[in-house]
């Protein structure tokens, strides 16, 4: 029985792509990248930042570290407050909490950053726990999920993660909890969707409102 629902943030709770993509383009240009970024840039929504540069550009460790050092201050100054809630998200969160579900955010953003965004956008009150990675970026998605489950007092199998990337799916699987794929996000392509194991992936949703029906089936 599902008692708690954790949400990835970027591409699941909010569409923060404009600020992320703008910062990614600024960083690439600063490092001499003169090609247009189109489809691959979507990989900047979800994975840890270092991995974003490695995946999209194929850069080595030194270049990725340089990119991260450029990205973070620019994002904090110009990108972090650019975003909108996905249609129906706040209403869905309200109804889930009215039904007695505990809710949380599990993100690979820095913990201090996601809390600052929560104050700015006003979503803090919609969640019992908001947890990001530590200042060293060493925490994995599974570790963040484990922390949240402990804080909420639920077993891993009693909490589901809603996310839009393979990082989310793998984190849920490693943590031993079910996963719901948010198809309205950015990270899951057709090949990835077909690879999702039904033992972990309990459903795919086209909108936040679809989540209400999916969790009701588990009651």
- Burial of 219 by CB count in 10 Å (0-12 exposed, 13-18 middle, 19+ buried)? exposed
Q: Which CATH architecture has domain 4-15+84-216?
A: 3-Layer(aba) Sandwich (3.40)
Q: Where in the chain is the domain with CATH 1.10.150.240?
A: 17-79
Question: Which CATH number applies to 17-79?
Answer: 1.10.150.240
Structure tokens that stand for 88 in this block = 């129906």
Strands 84-85 and 14-15: antiparallel
Confirm whether pTM is higher than 0.85: yes
Helices 166-175 and 141-152: angle between axes, nearest 10 degrees: 50
E strands, 97-214, are 102-110, 129-133, 159-163, 179-182, 201-205
What Cα–Cα distance (Å) separates residue 141 from each residue in 4, 81, 119, 132, 193?
Answer: 17, 23, 23, 9, 19
Q: Tell me the β-bridge partners of 195.
A: none
Digitized pLDDT (tens) for each residue of the chain, 219 residues in all: 899 999 999 999 999 989 998 998 899 889 988 776 655 677 777 677 888 888 888 889 899 999 999 999 999 999 999 999 999 999 999 999 999 999 999 999 999 999 999 999 999 999 999 999 987 767 999 999 999 999 999 999 999 999 999 999 999 999 999 999 999 988 688 899 999 998 999 999 999 999 998 987 666
């Amino acid at each position: 029985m599902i008692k708690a629902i954790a949400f990835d943030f970027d591409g699941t709770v909010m569409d923060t792509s404009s600020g992320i993509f703008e910062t990614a383009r600024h960083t690439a240009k600063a490092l001499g990248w003169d090609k247009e970024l189109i489809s691959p840039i979507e990989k900047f929504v979800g994975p840890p930042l270092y991995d974003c540069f490695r995946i999209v550009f194929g850069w080595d460790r030194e270049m990725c570290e340089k990119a991260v050092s450029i990205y973070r201050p620019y994002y904090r100054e110009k990108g972090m407050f650019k975003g909108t809630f996905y249609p129906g998200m706040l209403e869905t969160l309200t109804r889930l909490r009215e039904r007695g579900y505990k809710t949380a955010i599990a993100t690979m953003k820095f913990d201090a950053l996601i809390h600052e965004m929560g104050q700015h956008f006003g979503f803090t009150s919609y969640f019992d726990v908001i947890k990001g990675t530590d200042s060293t970026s060493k925490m994995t998605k599974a570790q963040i999920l484990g922390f949240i489950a402990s804080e909420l007092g639920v077993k891993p199998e009693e909490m589901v993660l809603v996310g839009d990337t393979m990082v989310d799916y793998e984190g849920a699987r490693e943590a031993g909890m079910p996963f719901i794929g948010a198809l309205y996000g950015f990270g899951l392509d057709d090949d990835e969707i077909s690879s999702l194991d039904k033992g972990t992936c309990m459903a795919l949703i086209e909108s936040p409102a679809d989540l209400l029906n999916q969790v009701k089936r588990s009651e």
